[in-house]
Structure formats: structure tokens, C-alpha cells
Homo-oligomer: A and B are copies of this chain.
Amino acid sequence: MKLKIAVLAGDGIGPEITQQSIKVLKAIADRFDHEFEFEDAIVGAAAIDLLDNPLPEATLDLCKKSDAVLFGAIGHPKYDNNPDAKVRPEQGLLKLRKELGLFANIRPVTTYAKLIDQSPLRPERIQGADLTIFRELTGGIYFGEKSTSEDGQSATDICTYSVEEIERMAHLAFKAAQQRRKKLTLVDKANVLETSRLWRKTVKKIAEDYQDVALDFLFVDNAAMQMILNPKQFDVILTENMFGDIISDEASVIGGSIGLLASASVGGDNAMFEPIHGSYPQATGKGIANPVASILSAAMLLDHFGLVEEGDVIRKAVATSIKLNVCTEDINKDNPYSTEKVGDFLEGLI
């Protein structure tokens, strides 16, 4: 297969981890006789520094022309701590999601037996946990109108959802549930929010088309609790943008390291694959960042194009590296491998 992949490595540890994914993808291309073409473009704080624009036209064009986007991370403390900044790295990511029509963000969470003791949760609570979060990604309060009153004395964010936005998400999530353990949990705050009630109503209706899937509902506050009390109860979680952001970062603690968690953003003609962790500025350039989340995102990229065998090869390699403790310091505290060495090792296994 021929694939054109746009590489948006971004800020902080983005470039060093993405480098490892490219290595691994190249090894896959060699072994399975595919043709993957990679092209770099700038995004985030790096792009603001150069062009005062977190998503330059050329970058967006490249993404649109490509089959898929491999994304690193964005964000920089100099913007986080300046509430008056007019241009922010995050705007680049949000605009990219919107422009590419990537309305669904899929975040699988599993555990590795070898890492069970890394988790802050007790082993018996997490052993066998295996869930996937379907987070709506281009609607809700992230994309609603934002404003500050003229006198600067108040600020407003608007959260809107349409039936259409909910339906297309719900179909994806129900279909995924059919391929899994046939359980779908909608997370919302329908006892307070009008948008949540629209979610509940719409999802209930769609559920009629998926009689083999058991649907239940959780208020987001309760879900935040249940995720820790008993993560094994979940199969597919469906939720809106902001709740998905919070709940999926929370769920990342289950497996023992956020450095292992991949995501796929799909929906449009294009698709984007990125680790769920951020740009981790303190680690930049130190060779300590875990490249596995990015590498597993590359595996999701392969799955997306039907190259599931190839994706499995990567996942198996990752499982082997974890079993042998060929891991960065977030996992292997005594004798850590560098970002690059982990990448080399995984490349070697392919």
C-alpha cells in the first residue's frame, strides 16, 4: 500500500518521540512491502515562533493532501502562564481537528501484566481492564463562541451540540462496541445540562439500531469515580469533547504510564494519530520521553488503513519490549533506556 503521511512533530518531546514512530513505520514498510512517504510540517509553539501562526496554511495544506497525519504534541509553558496571549499552540491543534473533520477521538486503555505494579491502583481492580473512550472532538465548549465583556469583567464560553454531531459519533461508538464486549456507556451531565439531555435522547434513539449492544448512562461526576473504583465495568465509553478530555486523561493512570496511550482521530477524509500525553516540556531533549504512545498511535494508523497484521506486529513488539523491560525511565527506573534506544529496539523487532 502507498500512504502519504504528514508528520507534525510539534513542541517539547514531540519531535523525539515522533522520530521513533517514523523509524518503526519505515521498518514495517520494508517488511510488508508498503510505500510510506513522510513529509514534515510545523505546528504549535514552534510555528508561532516562526510564523506567528500555530497552524500555518502550508501545514494544513500538507495534511489535506496526505492520507494521514502523525502528530507529536503541542504546548509550551510560556503560553500556559500568560492568560493574555492572543495566539496559543492549542489553537493549532483544535483548528486542525476541525479543518480535517476529525470528529471522533478514540482512546483505548489496556493494562500490561508486567506493569501492573506501576499503576497507582490496586492490581485486582485493574487486571484485565480493557476499555475504549470515544470522545467527540470538534464540538462542544471547545469550539463554541468565546468572549470577554468590553470592561473585561466577565467571560463566556458557549457549548452547543447538534443531533447530527451526536448521531455520527454514536454510530461509530456503537459499531465499535459490536466488535468488542457489546457494552456502551454514555457519560454526560443530563441532570443539569441541556446539551447532555440532547446527547442522552439522541443516543437512546440510535441504540434501537444496535439491539445487541447494552447501553447505560453515567453522570460525569460519577463516571470519574467509577473509572477508579471499577474500570473493568467499562467497554466502550461515549462522551462529549470536554468530558472525554477529562475522563480519558484520568483513565490513563490505569495502565501505569500515560506514556503508553495512543489515540486515533477520525471522521473526515483524513485521519490523525497522536499520543494522548502532552509536550512534557521538562523532558525535552533529555532522551527520557517514552516513545511508545506515539508508536502505538502509528499502529492505530496502520489499522485504520486495514493493515491490521502490521499493526499487530507493532503491538507485539511493544509487548515484548515491556516484558524485557526495554523501557524509558517512567517504567524502568533502575536501568532506563533512552527514547532512541527504545525506538531502535522496537525497529529491530520488526
A interface residues (Cβ-Cβ under 8 A, vs B): 75, 79-81, 83-84, 88, 90, 94, 120-122, 125, 141-142, 144, 146-148, 152-164, 189-195, 197-198, 200-201, 204, 217, 219-222, 224-225, 227-230, 242, 245-250, 252-253, 258, 278
Contacts and interface: CB of A to CB of B under 8 A. Distances in A.
B221 A94 contact: no
The quantity of this chain's copies bound in the complex is 2
7 contacts: A83-B190, A152-B163, A154-B162, A154-B163, A189-B245, A221-B248, A221-B249
A65 B215 CA distance: 45
A71 to B, nearest CB: 16
A258 B204 CA distance: 30
A158 B157 CA distance: 6
Contacts of A160: 154-156
Contact of A158 (B79, B80, B152, B156): B156
Nearest to A84: B201
A153 B88 CA distance: 32
A153 B202 CA distance: 10
A104 to B, nearest CB: 18
Contact of A163 (B147, B153, B247, B253): B153
Given A161-B155, A190-B80, A247 B224 contact: yes
